[in-house]
């Protein structure tokens, strides 16, 4: 009985550490089963002491009191199973505890595996993510999100006065990447294990830049050329998939090719009505009523069901036309490619959408919005001094004056800049790579 209680304690500690991440990991009996499948009790105890922000291996070794060679061997083994993030830069290794998403959910399903009961894990993840809205609202609360929609460049009108920037172009993001890796789409792979996947290809998930190098080092993805990556994107477009990218301007780490039936982010929109689970592009679909025939192809292919077909009778004839829901439209341009009559155009949104410059900016903005700034700053929760300071910051975050100050953009931007610089400093040389 004592051994069982101890084991349960290790998994509870890990769940709490994961829940401190900006995307969270709400407590659930189902989630505890997932952790028990993925981590041994000893691994859960070790992982619960690893911060979510990358930390040099030698510093982690000192903090954990574990010899560096012994810790290195364990981190290599756990990284190959997708349980920790293992990166290298300028000869220095960095370790981080991945969140649930984008993290060890993807690392679990982005390849074929025979070391885990994959079908059972698929059912457990599906239950955890959809049994109620706790997980979805934990991941997608606030305005700053993990992913943003990438508009189809061919859908944009020539001569549009609004310039499309390089970081908004899937083609430029891929072509400027230092490395590209390919893996299975975790969402479609999970859906296939549940027996309800669509027939689209699973080999469509692109990882870029330093993230690609880390994924290839641990065997989670395979290296491909830029030309191969561009071919995959074009093939995915032909099958009606939307492109969703890392919600940053610099050093984008992934591009997903998403279908409306399997994608987890899209399911959060459709199942739980979290309409900003994916940040929109700077464009929006518009119906050209002079050309629209009301055929319904745009409505059928829209990944988030943002288009309906309206109908009225004029004399003995019926008139049909497409109607777009502005609050749902991702601005992906999938509907443009489906229309055969020129009835769909893409126009610039009245106000440009905010996109964080770097991962540091995104994580800090998410922490501020979600009341998790204390968790971001003080990630060594085993230290009494840090726990005390975290409690003080936690109270501050919930206070009306702090919330009011963060609602003022100049103050929020200045505060964000200070936090980003702190994060970069703590990440050492790695900060220059991912910032």
- Residues 30-62 have pLDDT tens digits of 999 999 999 999 999 999 999 998 999 999 999
- Using alpha carbons, select from 20, 21, 83 the residue that is nearest to residue 46: 83
Whole-angstrom distance, CA of residue 325 vs CA of residue 284: 10
The β-bridge partners of 283 are 348
Whole-angstrom distance, CA of residue 97 vs CA of residue 53: 7
The pLDDT-based confidence of 159 (bands split at 50, 70, 90) is low
Whole-angstrom distance, CA of residue 297 vs CA of residue 338: 6
- Using alpha carbons, select from 203, 261, 254, 199 the residue that is nearest to residue 228: 203
Contact status, residue 405 vs residue 350, Cβ threshold 8 Å: no
> Above 50 in pLDDT, residue 2?
no
Helix-then-strand count for the chain, H and E: 21, 14
Estimate to the nearest angstrom the gap between the alpha carbon of 342 and the chain centroid: 33
Architecture of domain 2-138 in this structure: Orthogonal Bundle (1.10)
The pLDDT-based confidence of 266 (bands split at 50, 70, 90) is very high
Residue whose pair of structure tokens reads 């959809």 in the numeric block: 130
Residue span(s) of the chain under CATH 1.10.10.10 come to: 2-138
Whole-angstrom distance, CA of residue 183 vs CA of residue 325: 33
Whole-angstrom distance, CA of residue 433 vs CA of residue 123: 37
Give pLDDT, residue 433.
65
Helix (H, G, I), strand (E, B) or coil at 29: helix
SS (H, E, C) 150-191: ECCHHHCCCCCCCCCCHHHCHHHHHHCCCCEEEECCHHHHHH
Contact status, residue 139 vs residue 145, Cβ threshold 8 Å: no
pLDDT above 90 as % of the chain: 76
Give the tokens for residue 238. 């032909």
Model confidence over 186-245: pLDDT tens digits? 999 999 999 999 999 999 999 999 999 999 999 999 999 999 999 999 999 999 999 999
- Strands 85-89 and 254-258, bridge-based pairing: unpaired
Give pLDDT, residue 158.
77
Cβ atoms within 10 A of the Cβ of 194, count? 14
388 burial level (CB within 10 Å; 0-12, 13-18, 19+): exposed
Q: How far is CA 159 from CA 135, 203, 347, in A?
A: 43, 35, 11
Whole-angstrom distance, CA of residue 322 vs CA of residue 237: 21
């Amino acid at each position: 009985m004592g051994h069982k209680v101890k084991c349960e304690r290790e998994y509870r500690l890990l769940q709490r550490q994961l829940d401190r991440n900006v995307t969270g990991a709400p407590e659930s009996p189902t989630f505890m089963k997932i952790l028990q499948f993925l981590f041994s009790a000893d691994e859960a105890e070790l992982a619960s002491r690893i911060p979510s922000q990358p930390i040099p291996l030698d510093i982690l070794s000192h903090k954990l009191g574990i010899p560096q060679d012994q810790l290195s061997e364990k981190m290599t083994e756990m990284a190959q199973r997708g349980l920790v993030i293992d990166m290298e830069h300028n000869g220095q290794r960095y370790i981080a505890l991945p969140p649930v998403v984008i993290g060890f959910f993807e690392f679990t399903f982005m390849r074929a595996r025979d070391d885990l009961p994959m079908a059972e894990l698929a059912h457990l993840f599906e239950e955890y993510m959809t049994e109620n809205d706790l997980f979805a609202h934990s991941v997608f609360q606030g305005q700053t999100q993990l992913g943003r929609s990438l508009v189809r460049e061919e859908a944009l009108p020539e001569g549009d006065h609004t310039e499309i920037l390089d970081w908004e172009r899937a083609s430029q993001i891929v072509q400027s990447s230092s490395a590209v890796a390919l893996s299975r789409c975790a969402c479609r792979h999970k859906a296939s294990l549940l027996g309800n996947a669509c027939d689209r290809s699973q080999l469509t998930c692109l990882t870029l830049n330093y993230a690609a190098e880390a994924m290839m080092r641990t065997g989670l993805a395979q290296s491909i050329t830029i030309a191969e990556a561009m071919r995959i994107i074009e093939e995915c477009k032909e099958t009606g998939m939307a492109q969703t990218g890392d919600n940053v301007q610099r050093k984008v780490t992934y591009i997903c090719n998403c279908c409306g039936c399997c994608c987890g982010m899209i399911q959060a929109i459709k199942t739980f009505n979290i309409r900003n689970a994916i940040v929109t592009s700077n464009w929006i679909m518009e119906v050209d009523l002079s050309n629209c025939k009301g055929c319904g192809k745009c409505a059928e292919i829209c990944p988030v069901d943002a288009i309906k077909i309206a109908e009225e009778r004029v004399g003995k004839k019926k008139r049909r036309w497409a109607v777009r829901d502005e609050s749902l439209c991702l601005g992906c341009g999938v509907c443009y490619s489906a229309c055969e009559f020129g009835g769909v155009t893409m126009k610039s949104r009245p106000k440009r959408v905010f996109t964080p410059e770097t991962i540091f900016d995104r994580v800090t903005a998410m922490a501020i919005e979600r009341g998790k700034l204390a968790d971001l700053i003080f990630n060594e929760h085993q230290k009494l001094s840090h726990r005390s300071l975290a409690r003080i910051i936690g109270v501050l975050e919930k206070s009306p004056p702090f919330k009011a100050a963060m609602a003022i953009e100049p103050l929020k931007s200045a505060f964000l800049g200070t936090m980003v610089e702190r994060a970069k400093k703590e990440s050492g040389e790695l900060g220059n790579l991912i910032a």
